[in-house]
Chain A
Amino acid sequence: MKVLVPIKRVIDYNVKVRVKPDNSNVDLANVKMAINPFCEIAVEEAVRLKEAGTATEIIAVSIGDKSCQEQLRTALALGADKAIQIDTDQNLDSLNVAKLLQKVVEAEQPQLVILGKQSIDSDNNQTGQMLAALTGLPQGTFASEVKVDGDKVNVTREIDGGLQTVALSLPAIVTTDLRLNEPRYASLPNIMKAKRKPLEVQPAADFGIDLAPRSTLVKVSPPSERQAGIVVESVDELVEKLKNEAKVIS
């Protein structure tokens, strides 16, 4: 079966972002970028399905300008067979991303689409669910286990208070949580091989979708900073402070 893995280029998770002085947005100039960690888990899961003989072909897709080809090459080095860059300079919201992906799903007819549950930049947690709604497919979000079984997939989901397992008829949409797997590192031979794998560029404008933004970013501010407090010398002093100064315990 064919597996589609949409991925996003985001700020590297180790980098602390700074807000621009004019409060127009965060400053991403000369910041290290990487594949969104949850998307990397999605690629890994697809590769494992292929290694298990369940998946036959993995297509990675990313939406953005030419720079996201770097992340697509990473996905190819990890084991994807083919990549598609949907070319646009626009910063799209999740609904427009989902609409573009819907067209890719219609064209490629994958049995399974695996996405990250959220990107660590906008923290929206929307695209997979929206894609599922637009394609009319069932969804298994926040997955910690994915088991394909004939024409169904069982997805174990991380929910408040524990785990939930749902059975979805294929084709289906899965979004990854952190514990689904631990992504591998790409080996040097695979990185070299990835350079020769097919990477197709499709202009977003060719999809015939109204990509007008649905919201305006009014401003971006730094969070209110907490003042560092005091270091107490003993447990007695801590208990005394919590009782009499902070008054949070009795």
Chain B
Amino acid sequence: MSILVFAEHDNNTLKADTLKTVAAAQAIGGDIDVVVAGLNCQAVAEAAAQINGVNKVLVADNAAYEHQLAENVSLLVTELASDYSHILATALTTGKNFMPRVAALLDVAQISDIIAVESADTFVRPIYAGNAIATVQSLDSKKVITVRTTGFDAVATDGSAEIIAIAQATDAGTSSHVSDELTVSERPDLGAAGVVISGGRGMQNGDNFKLLEGIADKLGAAIGASRAAVDAGFVPNDMQVGQTGKIVAPDLYIAVGISGAIQHLAGMKDSKVIVAINKDPEAPIFQVADYGIVGDLFDVLPELESKL
């Protein structure tokens, strides 16, 4: 078997999630190559070459791939696919965007969001917001898979794979990039942070999220939110943790003023330790929390910050 892993990056830095996707590839077993598609992405290629267990790093460095538009990237990956039995990408917004196109162009199904590998053709994935776990056997000759990285541990980076430039430069010509509006933050990425502190509707407004910042600073935490807080306009959507937002599994997750709707639990219940702060002792969040404090968050948060 031979596996192609799509590298997740921003043209400068390889995202740590790729190390977990490679771990999923190792669980399948076989030769593993990584493809880096971008513009001026040599640094990413060099980082990818250090991933343990990687055979070759294929680099498509071309303006057509600068913003990883799905129309262009899917054509590239489809062209490369003939040499591989499995094609893996991380189930983040880039992979979710282009991978189903690859599957359709190859006339195979896609297995989305796998959290475990049973065998080379059988995979485990959550359905119904994680309220059921499906084991699925693919009947296709080629497997197109996206990997939910919370299910896998990152592989080490002491390898030295060969870097090969590839000449492919397909521009479908049907789409173009206009602009990016990225949230600038000193804090770690939600998906990569060891500690996450999230606020819900109980925060009452966006200004009160400042109460989480002091604690986040002390713990080196990322700040998240429930869908209720996003819907109420307290914070932007890219902070949303849940079924349709980010799926996180940090060492410590602190849920503040979050009742614990199933859609939110779907995004965080694999965290190692969960702390809930809520004034309603009946809130469902307490059923999944390791430690709960029943109390007014406006009293608890300042005290917690001062005592950390």
Contact = CB atoms under 8 A, between A and B. Distances in A.
Interface of A: 11, 13, 16-17, 19, 26, 38, 93-95, 98, 117-118, 120-134, 136-139, 141-142, 144, 154, 157-169, 172, 177-179, 213-223, 226, 228-232, 234-236, 238-239, 241-242, 246, 248-249
Interface in B140-195: 140, 172, 174-183, 189, 191, 195
The size class of the interface chain B forms with chain A is 35 or more
Contact of B108 (A11, A214, A229): A214
A138 B178 CA distance: 14
A134 B70 CA distance: 13
B133 A166 contact: no
B128 interface: yes
Contacts, number: 254
Interface string B40-84: 000000000000000000000000000101110010000000000
Contacts of B139: 213-216
B293 A231 contact: yes
Contact of B132 (A159, A160, A221, A235): A221
B251 to A, nearest CB: 5
A208 to B, nearest CB: 15
B280 to A, nearest CB: 12
B2 interface: no
A136 B189 CA distance: 34
B127 A235 contact: no
Given A228-B289, A248-B195, 15 more contacts: A26-B132, A123-B112, A123-B243, A129-B99, A133-B101, A138-B71, A138-B172, A138-B174, A160-B246, A161-B183, A161-B238, A214-B109, A217-B134, A220-B132, A230-B290
Interface in B101-143: 101-105, 107-113, 122, 126-140
Interface stretch (B27-35, B89-97, B199-207): B89-97
Given A133-B100, A218-B136, A223-B126, A138 B175 contact: yes
A213 B137 CA distance: 11
B263 to A, nearest CB: 7
Nearest to B102: A133
18 contacts: A125-B96, A126-B100, A129-B101, A133-B101, A139-B70, A144-B237, A159-B238, A162-B182, A163-B238, A164-B181, A167-B178, A178-B227, A178-B230, A215-B137, A230-B292, A231-B292, A234-B293, A235-B303
B210 interface: no
